[in-house]
Chain A
């Protein structure tokens, strides 16, 4: 019985000792928002639409991101400018639905849509969480500093003519059979 009593007191004392020790240990809690920990570049949070190295919009509104999105939070409408360049007339992401899975970034063939570590776009009102193209478009290349899709595609968009894109030969002269 005395042993039991000593055990009880000992275990309680051990607990208090641990707690007391920690009273004097420096906490490593990071106080947000005073301190904002830098996240790795691959962290998946707010989505942006990037531009190519020449500053033109990368998004060609191919609907692949909206097609792969598991929660259907992306919608857009493709349009063509006067020079034949396909782009998004409007582009909308409902961040209330978005689960930040990153499938859209994987699917994008032009490196336009990318996820960034910025998670501070959350609002109280659901409609404020629906971002339009002007809210998503940024002025830089994001994680891909090089890729310009329209240099690879065969369509003429004002950048280069037929045969001037990457891996292309000059257009066939259909008016002759000479080699």
Chain B
């Protein structure tokens, strides 16, 4: 390991460490613009200049471009290097507009910081500043090109790292321009990261424009809960609401970047329509009243009809605290559940995936970046778990071979081989594709759980076990439906799903349901069945922080706290439990109490709206018990009462990996039904924008969801005489729903794919995420 001296301080660093990184380890911050540890060093900005006093090449060098060598002696304070750095900053500032007071980057602007650090305060250049016209780049990213210092970070991230090509650099010399060829919405679902990496204010956060300065925000480390990856974020809150979200570095999970869904999906938390008070039969009451009423009525039903007459439904959206409190609730009261899954097949797949992971085969996303072969089975990362696509791209850039087995028209930002086959053929395809991994040393099998079944998950797990048996460092990576689906799988004790409980309601066994933070209405495939079941209930209690249709319909509605107010522990798809701290202390945002204007002119000892309980507190109350008083006590309680959570004691900055330890997943024999003749199989698939219930509330993301569309294979479309852009009606049992048609040459024939969309409202027949449309029920409504 080379040992070198920087500014008279000695340090030993791993081989290949750059001098600029070695200096960081010593606490010496060398100015930089174009260097970014995720994007690499390119030596464009020239501001990281240091003087190498002794070494292979001596003199002023760029510290990001030279590796630390044994015996090297470097000075960052040498006058020649310092003068050069000062000159570079002066040159960068020749053209910089006088924008700081009205620029959102002010306060966290690298250019500001380094200009001041360089001792500059006056522009002595007498020439004019070069200017540019800006482009509309979509609802998420604001473009202000005058401020550009040409560090090239944006195009290096956008094109090289994330693999999209619509943003680039044009022009020459001092006129280089970073933008699209024609203005328009940026295609990459990772475009928001441009805001984080741009060292000046060229790319700024558009939805949170002008909301506040960095020094006014309460910034808290957080974890994104919009998919199962659990990427780390930094939440900025002010005046009791969340202002904006940024990516936060995670060594194990997401590296530096997050996707736009996670970045802009937080607007559900402070909307005016969010439940903030209790409801009893449509009447607004205090939260306490609603809780006591719910507890009393549930107790009465229990006494009258027995504990099996009450069912509890949860979901993977809730924190581990809420899920464990719900399990405790059912243990204490004897109520049925809690069930965390809506449907049999995908529920079984997700549970099986969680139980199949063990300390040997589980890989983190960052470990996946070092794989040399990846086989993705029934997974669509760009839509289901976007940052996984980034990780796969980095693996591919390093030479990994990537193969995908999936019926959907996959559009991934890297080279891969797509074996398109129907969902029920995935198992066969997997068996024959396994030999592609035989030459690799570090293969990873990615298994999705949205369109697969438990059998495929087990097959993938067996494949990994086999590869490991033959001496390879093989890993299994499963994507799960929701942020805390893994936690749900760990804690599930009742081996049932919401569909089972709905059936029991219909059968008259269950008379009351307590639904806690569940997207039952949004996800349940058979809406008529659900509606009938809900009608039959004597009592429906809903606890949620979203005003879902279920919450509106409930007899008793109890508001709960969001992750920003309550925090919580969320377990991501590899079993990593990560602690989220509350971002603000909750209560009505100022924009509400001040009627959207500004903070009211009153003194008051209590913050309005702060008396809402976290969902787990309500769960304890429904059981008639006092909840643990502090977060620390709650975590201790969880560890004490659930053996599978005892490892939480070892949680550190990277979280802690939990494992199911041989637990049997629910209904693992559930498999997909056979497809009848003369039918096309319709798959309802995740979409990056518009498919996830919480982020659907964000107006800026809604804009990106496009129109509801159905994807058809070209042969099928030709057979029906349908062209791209036509509007078709697909006939279900209970009626027809219309879509715009898109045609793909890279999907399985005999399959129709619809990506989830907030405007799709339909009543399909029984099934799961797959339905069958009869060929004669496909009707062209109008031509393109």
What separation, in Å, do the CA atoms of A168 and B131 have in the docked complex?
Answer: 7
Instruction: Pick the contact of A174: B129, B171, B215 (CB < 8 A).
Output: B171
A172/B213 in contact, CB under 8 A: no
Closest B residue, CB atoms, query A90: B598
**Which residues of the other chain, B, contact A110 by a CB distance below 8 angstroms?**
101
Among A94-112, those with CB < 8 Å from B are: 109-110
A140 within 8 A of B: no
What separation, in Å, do the CA atoms of A43 and B398 have in the docked complex?
Answer: 67
B212 within 8 A of A: yes
B131/A64 in contact, CB under 8 A: no
**Which residues of the other chain, A, contact B109 by a CB distance below 8 angstroms?**
none
Closest A residue, CB atoms, query B590: A77
**CB of B624, distance to nearest CB on chain A (Å):** 45
* 10 A-B interface contacts by CB (under 8 A): A61-B210, A63-B107, A77-B212, A92-B599, A109-B101, A154-B129, A154-B147, A166-B98, A170-B131, A174-B170
A56 within 8 A of B: no
**Which residues of the other chain, B, contact A75 by a CB distance below 8 angstroms?**
598-599
Among B190-222, those with CB < 8 Å from A are: 209-213, 215-216
B97 within 8 A of A: yes
A167/B130 in contact, CB under 8 A: no
Among A57-114, those with CB < 8 Å from B are: 60-64, 66-67, 75, 77-80, 86, 89-90, 92, 109-110
**Which residues of the other chain, A, contact B179 by a CB distance below 8 angstroms?**
174
Among B592-636, those with CB < 8 Å from A are: 597-599, 601, 603
**Which residues of the other chain, B, contact A172 by a CB distance below 8 angstroms?**
130-132, 171, 175, 177
A153/B99 in contact, CB under 8 A: yes
A177 within 8 A of B: yes
Instruction: Pick the contact of B100: A66, A78, A80, A109 (CB < 8 A).
Output: A109
**Which residues of the other chain, A, contact B146 by a CB distance below 8 angstroms?**
154-155, 162
Closest A residue, CB atoms, query B602: A127
**CB of A4, distance to nearest CB on chain B (Å):** 65
A136 within 8 A of B: no
A130 within 8 A of B: yes
A11 within 8 A of B: no
**Which residues of the other chain, B, contact A89 by a CB distance below 8 angstroms?**
597-598
A86/B216 in contact, CB under 8 A: no
- Quick one: which of B130, B171, B209, B210 has the most chain A CB within 10 A? B210
What separation, in Å, do the CA atoms of A153 and B107 have in the docked complex?
Answer: 17
B130/A169 in contact, CB under 8 A: yes
What is the number of residues of chain B that contact chain A, defined by CB distance less than 8 Å? Answer: 36
**Which residues of the other chain, B, contact A169 by a CB distance below 8 angstroms?**
128-131
B144 within 8 A of A: yes
A171/B98 in contact, CB under 8 A: no
Instruction: Pick the contact of A62: B101, B130, B599 (CB < 8 A).
Output: B101
A163 within 8 A of B: yes
B8 within 8 A of A: no
What separation, in Å, do the CA atoms of A77 and B128 have in the docked complex?
Answer: 33
What separation, in Å, do the CA atoms of A61 and B599 have in the docked complex?
Answer: 16
Give the B-binding residues of A (Cβ under 8 A).
60-64, 66-67, 75, 77-80, 86, 89-90, 92, 109-110, 127, 130, 149, 152-155, 162-163, 165-172, 174, 177
A80/B170 in contact, CB under 8 A: no
The 3 A-B pairs with the shortest beta carbon distances in the complex, nearest first, are A154-B97, A62-B101, A90-B598
**Which residues of the other chain, A, contact B97 by a CB distance below 8 angstroms?**
153-155, 165, 168
**Which residues of the other chain, A, contact B734 by a CB distance below 8 angstroms?**
none
A60/B102 in contact, CB under 8 A: yes
Closest A residue, CB atoms, query B100: A109
**Which residues of the other chain, B, contact A109 by a CB distance below 8 angstroms?**
100-101
What separation, in Å, do the CA atoms of A154 and B131 have in the docked complex?
Answer: 8
What separation, in Å, do the CA atoms of A150 and B169 have in the docked complex?
Answer: 29
What separation, in Å, do the CA atoms of A7 and B210 have in the docked complex?
Answer: 78
Interface readout for B686-701 with A: 1 if CB under 8 Å, 0 if not? 0000000000000000
**CB of B211, distance to nearest CB on chain A (Å):** 8
B133 within 8 A of A: yes
**CB of A96, distance to nearest CB on chain B (Å):** 12
What separation, in Å, do the CA atoms of A129 and B371 have in the docked complex?
Answer: 65
A79/B210 in contact, CB under 8 A: yes
What separation, in Å, do the CA atoms of A169 and B126 have in the docked complex?
Answer: 12
B131/A163 in contact, CB under 8 A: yes
B307 within 8 A of A: no
**Which residues of the other chain, B, contact A162 by a CB distance below 8 angstroms?**
131-134, 146
B767 within 8 A of A: no
What separation, in Å, do the CA atoms of A79 and B131 have in the docked complex?
Answer: 24
B132/A171 in contact, CB under 8 A: yes
B306 within 8 A of A: no
B118 within 8 A of A: no
B38 within 8 A of A: no
What separation, in Å, do the CA atoms of A179 and B211 have in the docked complex?
Answer: 40
Among B60-103, those with CB < 8 Å from A are: 97-102
B209/A64 in contact, CB under 8 A: no
B177/A155 in contact, CB under 8 A: no
B106 within 8 A of A: yes
Instruction: Pick the contact of A77: B130, B134, B175, B598 (CB < 8 A).
Output: B598
What separation, in Å, do the CA atoms of A172 and B345 have in the docked complex?
Answer: 58
Interface readout for B111-143 with A: 1 if CB under 8 Å, 0 if not? 000000000000000001111111000000000
**Which residues of the other chain, A, contact B171 by a CB distance below 8 angstroms?**
172, 174, 177
Instruction: Pick the contact of A177: B100, B172, B213 (CB < 8 A).
Output: B172
What separation, in Å, do the CA atoms of A142 and B784 have in the docked complex?
Answer: 63
B209/A127 in contact, CB under 8 A: no
**Which residues of the other chain, B, contact A67 by a CB distance below 8 angstroms?**
107, 213, 215-216
**Which residues of the other chain, B, contact A90 by a CB distance below 8 angstroms?**
597-598
**Which residues of the other chain, B, contact A153 by a CB distance below 8 angstroms?**
97-99, 101-102
What separation, in Å, do the CA atoms of A167 and B123 have in the docked complex?
Answer: 11
14 additional A-B pairs beyond A79-B210, A168-B129, beta carbons within 8 Å, are: A62-B102, A67-B213, A67-B216, A78-B211, A109-B100, A149-B101, A153-B102, A154-B98, A155-B97, A155-B146, A172-B171, A172-B175, A174-B171, A174-B177
**CB of A173, distance to nearest CB on chain B (Å):** 8
What separation, in Å, do the CA atoms of A90 and B599 have in the docked complex?
Answer: 10
Q: Please judge, given known A-B contacts A78-B210, A79-B210, A162-B146, whether A155 and B128 are in contact too, CB under 8 Å.
A: no
Closest A residue, CB atoms, query B135: A174
**CB of B147, distance to nearest CB on chain A (Å):** 8
Closest B residue, CB atoms, query A66: B216
**CB of B608, distance to nearest CB on chain A (Å):** 18
**CB of B218, distance to nearest CB on chain A (Å):** 14
**Which residues of the other chain, A, contact B107 by a CB distance below 8 angstroms?**
63, 67
Interface readout for B151-175 with A: 1 if CB under 8 Å, 0 if not? 0000000000000000000111001
**CB of B143, distance to nearest CB on chain A (Å):** 12
B209/A167 in contact, CB under 8 A: no
Closest A residue, CB atoms, query B591: A77
**Which residues of the other chain, B, contact A155 by a CB distance below 8 angstroms?**
97, 99, 102, 144, 146
**Which residues of the other chain, B, contact A66 by a CB distance below 8 angstroms?**
216
Closest B residue, CB atoms, query A64: B101
Q: Please judge, given known A-B contacts A77-B598, A80-B210, whether A168 and B128 are in contact too, CB under 8 Å.
A: yes
**Which residues of the other chain, B, contact A92 by a CB distance below 8 angstroms?**
598-599
**Which residues of the other chain, A, contact B215 by a CB distance below 8 angstroms?**
63, 67
Q: Please judge, given known A-B contacts A75-B599, A78-B210, whether A152 and B132 are in contact too, CB under 8 Å.
A: no
**Which residues of the other chain, B, contact A130 by a CB distance below 8 angstroms?**
601
What separation, in Å, do the CA atoms of A58 and B483 have in the docked complex?
Answer: 47
**Which residues of the other chain, A, contact B102 by a CB distance below 8 angstroms?**
60, 62, 86, 153, 155
